[in-house]
Amino acid sequence: MRIFQKTSFNFIKHRKIAYAISSILLIAGMVSLVFRGLNYGIDFKGGSEVVIRFEKTVDVGAVRSIMRDAGVSGSVKQYGLDRSFLLKTDFQGDTSKLKTLISNSLASRLPGNPSQILSIQAVGPSIASDMKMSAIKALAAALIGILLYVSVRFEFKFATAGVAAIFHDVLTVLGLFSLLGGLFDFMPLEVDQSIIAAFLTIAGYSITDTVVVYDRIRERLRGQKPSDYERLFNESMNQTLSRTIITSGTTMLSVIVLFIFAGPAIRSFAFAMFAGILVGTYSSIFVAAPIVFDWQTRSKSPIKFRGA
């Protein structure tokens, strides 16, 4: 079976449209980051989260008012599982008190509908700020590491454009999280440790497609006249289009499976990966390679290819 057979899209000609789309996405994301900020999970903000499951269906408003009457400040939301709710409140050093308070008030107000506390997570503010620092360090180290690796493997212009594409991907997804955070009940889109895991994986994976396109471009450019570059860029991208999309596609299959089956704890992660792979595939075709092309046509020095 073949999905993309002998395509001949003129990617380079339409690159300005892609630049515009990317810029709009990035700017919208950045504006939202500045004004809306990110929705941090308890990992990075501190606080307590309690998941409660009822035996019968119950209205979220009812649970909310019971919690308010019990003096538990915080929010109650539907959780991704059946008949389950997520209660968020301030950090409690002694969760057993909180637990007793919740189960007692629920038992007395909803006697016909037994409930069960499925999980409690409490993260103190000092741990939260530690985890935030670790996450920032990990992201920075990953980006620097990949930058080093790519600059060893590729010529300077290719490497820089590749890393720009990674930043593009991670920032776009971050912007999406800021824009969409808290809008959906079935996935909170809060930035927590698992989202950092997604960002790191996106950063590592985003370069994969780019490398495939780059390898082909280098192979074709070698010993050719700069005047042919536009044709050669386009041909290279068309030739690798199929594999670029299929490799992303198989990974996308896994991510969709995770989104559907792996439960609410993994859903935001799967969403981040989904968006990241989508944007990553797009950016290797429409961002990384066109930047190299533009840079090359504007600069006087020809690309010095390494090796034979």
**Which of these segments, 25-33, 102-110, 250-258, 289-297, binds another protein (CB under 8 A)?**
250-258
Place of tokens 């590491």: 145
Minimum Å gap between C-beta 183 and another protein is 23
Q: Does 149 bind another protein (CB under 8 A)?
A: yes
Of 246, 243, 253, 247, nearest in space to 274 by CA: 253
* Total residues interacting with another protein, rule: CB under 8 A: 74
Q: Which of 257, 297, 305, 306 binds another protein (CB under 8 A)?
A: 257
Phi-psi region at 83: left, alpha or beta (left = phi > 0; alpha = psi -120 to 50): left
Say what the alpha-carbon torsion angle 287, 210, 132, 144 is, to the nearest 10 degrees. -100
Q: Which of residues 228-247 bind another protein (CB under 8 A)?
A: 239, 242-243, 246-247
Question: In a 3-state reduction of DSSP, which class is residue 207?
Answer: helix
Q: Are 192 and 43 in contact (CB under 8 A)?
A: yes
Q: Does 107 bind another protein (CB under 8 A)?
A: no
Q: Does 130 bind another protein (CB under 8 A)?
A: yes
Q: Are 42 and 104 in contact (CB under 8 A)?
A: no
Which tokens in the block code for residue 227? Answer: 């005047």
Q: Which of 207, 217, 288, 291 binds another protein (CB under 8 A)?
A: 207
Question: In a 3-state reduction of DSSP, which class is residue 82?
Answer: coil
DSSP H or E segment with residue 118: strand 115-123
Q: Does 194 bind another protein (CB under 8 A)?
A: yes
Minimum Å gap between C-beta 94 and another protein is 7
For residues 179 and 211, which CB has a smaller minimum distance to another protein in the complex?
A: 211
Minimum Å gap between C-beta 207 and another protein is 5
Q: Which of 57, 96, 227, 301 binds another protein (CB under 8 A)?
A: 96
Q: Does 8 bind another protein (CB under 8 A)?
A: no
Q: Does 159 bind another protein (CB under 8 A)?
A: no
For residues 227 and 250, which CB has a smaller minimum distance to another protein in the complex?
A: 250
Q: Which of 138, 171, 179, 278 binds another protein (CB under 8 A)?
A: 138
For residues 32 and 72, which CB has a smaller minimum distance to another protein in the complex?
A: 72
Minimum Å gap between C-beta 171 and another protein is 16
Distance from C-alpha of 163 to C-alpha of 299, rounded to nearest angstrom? 19
Q: Does 51 bind another protein (CB under 8 A)?
A: yes
Q: Does 270 bind another protein (CB under 8 A)?
A: yes
Q: Does 197 bind another protein (CB under 8 A)?
A: yes
Q: Does 113 bind another protein (CB under 8 A)?
A: no
Question: In a 3-state reduction of DSSP, which class is residue 182?
Answer: coil
Q: Which of 226, 249, 297, 299 binds another protein (CB under 8 A)?
A: 249
Q: Does 308 bind another protein (CB under 8 A)?
A: no
Helix boundaries (H) for the chain: 15-35, 42-45, 60-69, 95-109, 125-153, 156-180, 193-221, 229-261, 264-283, 289-298
**Which of these segments, 59-67, 182-190, 264-272, 288-296, binds another protein (CB under 8 A)?**
264-272
Q: Does 153 bind another protein (CB under 8 A)?
A: yes
Which tokens in the block code for residue 153? Answer: 């493997």
Distance from C-alpha of 29 to C-alpha of 217, rounded to nearest angstrom? 31
Question: Which distant-in-sequence residues (6+ apart) come within 8 Å of 159 by Cβ?
Answer: 147, 150, 151, 153
Q: Does 118 bind another protein (CB under 8 A)?
A: yes
